[in-house]
């Protein structure tokens, strides 16, 4: 009941926005921009023939694959950079230069290297996710209080034990934050990434609906679905923040 009460303001606001959208479209007699009813009808049409689920599954697969590869690369790299000063001084400027570059700018290179297919969008999603996680993980290592490290060294703890039982638990909250940011950015670029996909994905659905008969109802539907899935993915990442091994670093 409390969760419903907390969500009520957001639900009311979204209902008002939908009502405003409907009124504006009806009163302007727009022949192009769809009403909420047309968007719902188009969505049900795609859901009924299974096309919608195919596009959602393809997008989730590409984002999941690119994000997983980014995690496998970013976390070890960030831990290494955080622990070894010379590595940090060498690699950090490179990653800081590459991090602000939009994944969209990588599209020509992705096509050149991997062609037009599944690998190119996965590569773009990887690029979008990996740099925020590397930077956040390395920063997390640097924020570890030195007294923990000194105490472990005074007790003669080996390097491997220090890494497993002190460094990783201490930096885990920062890793989760980096993963949350990385996943958000990865899902954000799904439309651009799937511009060079074959014939599936929510990004492809937007482009195809625009080009094939100006189906703006499906364009808006895909945009809304992307937003809701992004909200659910962020909610899943927030669940990780509630784990006991992670929660201790948070104020709440």
> What domains does the chain contain, in order, with CATH numbers?
50-247 (1.10.3720.10)
- Sorting pLDDT into bands at 50, 70 and 90, what band is 212? confident
**For residue 16, what is the DSSP state?**
H
Would you say residue 23 has pLDDT above 60?
A: yes
**For residue 167, what is the DSSP state?**
I
- Sorting pLDDT into bands at 50, 70 and 90, what band is 46? confident
Check residue 148 and give its pLDDT.
66
- Rounded CA separation 104/190 (Å): 10
Burial category of 142 from C-beta neighbours within 10 Å (exposed 0-12, middle 13-18, buried 19 and up): middle
Which residues, including other chains, have CB under 8 Å from residue 200's CB and lie 6 or more apart? Answer: 54, 55, 58, 194
Would you say residue 128 has pLDDT above 50?
A: yes
Which residues, including other chains, have CB under 8 Å from residue 58's CB and lie 6 or more apart? Answer: 194, 197, 200, 201, 202, 204
- Per DSSP, the three-state class of 220 is helix
To which residue do tokens 């297919």 refer? 117
Would you say residue 143 has pLDDT above 90?
A: no
pLDDT in tens, 165-202: 777 777 888 888 888 889 988 998 888 888 776 688 88
Q: What are 35's two structure tokens?
A: 């009403």
Q: What are 150's two structure tokens?
A: 């000194």
Check residue 235 and give its pLDDT.
87
Which residues, including other chains, have CB under 8 Å from residue 22's CB and lie 6 or more apart? Answer: 35, 36, 37
The percentage of the chain sitting over the pLDDT mark of 90, rounded to a whole number, equals: 19
Distances (CA, A) of 231 to 98, 101, 236: 27, 24, 9
Which residues, including other chains, have CB under 8 Å from residue 166's CB and lie 6 or more apart? Answer: 144, 148, 149, 152, 157
């Amino acid at each position: 009941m409390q969760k419903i009460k907390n969500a009520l303001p957001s639900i009311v606001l979204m209902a008002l926005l939908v009502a405003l959208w409907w009124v504006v479209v009806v009163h302007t007699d727009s022949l192009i921009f769809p009403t909420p009813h047309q968007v719902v009808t188009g969505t049900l049409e795609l859901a009924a023939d299974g096309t919608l689920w195919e596009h959602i599954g393809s997008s989730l697969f590409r984002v999941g694959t690119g994000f997983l590869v980014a995690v496998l690369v970013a976390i070890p790299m960030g831990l290494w950079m955080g622990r070894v000063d010379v590595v940090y001084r060498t690699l950090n400027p490179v990653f800081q230069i590459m991090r602000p570059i939009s994944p969209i700018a990588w599209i020509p290179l992705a096509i050149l290297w991997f062609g037009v297919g599944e690998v190119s969008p996965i590569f773009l999603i990887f690029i979008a996710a990996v740099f925020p996680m590397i930077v956040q993980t390395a920063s997390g290592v640097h924020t570890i209080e030195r007294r923990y490290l000194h105490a472990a060294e005074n007790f003669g703890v080996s390097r491997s034990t220090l890494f497993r039982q002190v460094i990783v638990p201490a930096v885990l909250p920062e890793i989760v934050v980096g993963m949350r940011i990385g996943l958000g950015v990865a899902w954000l670029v799904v439309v651009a990434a799937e511009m060079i996909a074959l014939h599936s994905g929510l990004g492809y659905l937007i482009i195809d609906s625009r080009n094939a008969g100006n189906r703006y109802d499906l364009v808006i539907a895909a945009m809304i679905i992307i937003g809701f899935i992004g909200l659910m993915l962020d909610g899943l990442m927030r669940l990780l923040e509630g784990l006991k091994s992670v929660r201790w670093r948070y104020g709440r």
